[in-house]
Amino acid sequence: MESVKRDGRSVEFYSGDWLHIAQLWESTGHPKYDIILTAETIYRPDLYDRLLRIIKAALLPDGSAFLLTKSTYAPGGCLYDFLDAVGDMGIFRTDIQEIKCNGVVQFFVQIKWT
């Protein structure tokens, strides 16, 4: 974990297996966050549950997680399957904005508690 503090605000960066981090935070009551940022992280459908679990473990009740993503990935992941996984959990809602830049289409997904 790396932490940056400025003007009374702090930013923390984490890397590692989402499942292990989520399990640790769930068992220790780790503080939650108002904003979670992630990009290019839905490339494998078998990891959707892990990503959603870490968001569930870390997001404040009035917070938002933001995902920047392409619509599909070569390993098999795609935005629409991820959105289905979010819907299947029944605890989050999403808002999606399409972004086009120099012919490249990406999607900005906001994830909030229902």
- Kindly report, residue by residue over 23-72, the tens digit of the pLDDT: 999 999 999 999 999 999 999 999 999 999 999 999 999 999 999 999 98
In the prediction, which pLDDT does 75 show?
Answer: 82
* Chain centroid, CA 74 distance in Å: 20
| Helices and strands counted in the chain (H then E) | 3, 6
Reported as a pLDDT band with limits 50, 70 and 90, residue 6 is confident
Q: 103 and 97 in contact (C-beta within 8 Å)? A: no
Reported as a pLDDT band with limits 50, 70 and 90, residue 2 is low
Q: Which ranges in the chain belong to alpha helices (H)? A: 18-28, 48-58, 79-89
The pLDDT of 78-105, averaged and rounded, is: 96
In the prediction, which pLDDT does 25 show?
Answer: 92
Euclidean distance between CA atoms 13 and 3, whole angstroms: 6
Q: 41 and 53 in contact (C-beta within 8 Å)? A: no
Domains of the chain in start order, with CATH, are 2-113 (3.40.50.150)
> pTM to 2 decimals?
0.88
Higher pLDDT, 99 or 3: 99
